[in-house]
Amino acid sequence: MTLEILINLAYVVAAGLFILGLKLLSHPSTARKGNLVSAVGMLVAVIVTLLDQHIISYHYIFIGVLIGGLYGAWKARSVQMTQMPEMVSLFNGFGGAASLLLGWATVSSMDSEVLASTHFFIFVTVLLTLLIGGVTFSGSVIAWGKLSGKLSSKALIFTGLRELSLLHIVAMAAVGFLFVNEPSNMLWLYCTIAIGLSFGLWATISIGGADMPVVIALLNSYSGIAASAAGLAVGNTILIVTGLLVGASGLILTNIMCKAMNRSLMNVLLSGFSKPVEQGEAISGEIKVLSAQDAFYVLEAAQAVLVVPGYGMAVAQAQHAVRELHILLEENGCTVDYAIHAVAGRMPGHMNVLLAEADVPYDQLYEMDDVNPRMENYDVAIVIGANDVVNPAAKEMKGSPIYGMPVIEAYRAKTVFVLKRSANAGFAGVDNPLFFRENTRMILGDAKDTINSLIREFGD
């Protein structure tokens, strides 16, 4: 058996491990195993690729693997769950940057004779790698800034933004044509990189924080598409397959997120170019504040409780306290369910990961469409740090920026406890009329401290 056949077989094995890993990632009970299987597949793919490329010296490669491995292991252990969304954004960005650098290196390493004899299709794939990789990298950096609070979560809109974006698209077509037809002129190569980076910046900075979960999913897809294009450029089969898997899964996830927000993908991407909507009538009323001790008396008598987690739960790291309260409620004869909105938190699946970390049974996690029809049956809905995903304005206020977005209708429960540090607007910057409802009680303060107070009341 020749070396080429062995290498191709190894690529098939790696691709099979990727597919199996994705399958295992579809359920919390097997997700950790799926992550490990995918990592083994990537290790096989990297080793085989290094053997296939006949590299003369491995010194710099070993140094890179050592530094990257140590740094990655440290970050994996030290990163907080509240920082996970922006970390995922950086992962997407680094994937785009890696594809961009591979495309740049592919052309830069060619001498004039090779450039003249290379088929134009290769330069088309390099062009796509540079553009998509550049958009992914700069867009992911902006998303990281918005998610981490280093940049304002509001959409940055200014006069001429629409024209600037149209100019970028025209420039992409013009410079792309020049690059493919004159690859020996490095000016077009660097112009292509600059346009891709610039377009990703302006395209993402004009999208508001409420749409960031969709943007993360889309950028994840972009990173896969860029990798697939890079694989075509360098003729690496496993890179093509891996990129297609990431690109396809990212697009599927993006579609799910858009459906959860009742918006089309183009509506999200072009949100920065739309005219500002009227804010409608002002929200006013009296907020009714409740102490943890008084909330305990209500929960003690409850027969059915619904927990609606949000980003505030992640900030307070309250998931383990929530699980402990869950157990105490069940011991008191109460049923406990969890309502998970597809865009709760700052990234897809954020709440699912938090609750899985606290060993909350997966069969007690319900999607919005499962709990809304029976919301009146819940004696208490405990909203923990969630805001936009339970905002009645999405159904009742046509002037609201989130009008039309499907939400968890917690306001229809018999009693609503809202656990927040304050009554301020959420990440989308939209006021919430739920706080002023007759059946709503605000329990202000750190969510973890509040829940621990409830736990102590049950223990007394």
- 216-247: b or e for each residue (b if 16 or more CB lie within 10 Å)? bbbbbbbbbbbbbbbbbbbebbbbbbbbbbbb
In angstroms and rounded to an integer, the radius of gyration of the C-alpha atoms of the chain is 25
Amino acid identity of 118?
A: T
Tokens representing 361 are: 């049974």
User: Facing residues of 418 across strands?
Assistant: 383, 442
Residues 211, 337, 388, 431: which is the catalytic one?
388
Give me the sheet containing 415-420, strands edge to edge.
365-367, 335-340, 304-309, 380-384, 415-420, 440-444
Task: Give, in degrees to the nearest 5, the angle at Cα 315 between 309 and 321.
Answer: 60
Residues with Cβ < 8 Å from 451, sequence gap 6 or more?
318, 321, 322, 324, 325, 384, 419
Phi, psi of 225 (to 5 degrees): -65, -40
Examine the residue annotation and report whether 359 is marked as an active-site residue of this protein.
no
**C-alpha angle with apex 314: 309 to 320, nearest 5 degrees?**
80
Torsion of CA 168, 170, 172, 173, to 10 degrees: 170
Give catalytic residue positions: 388
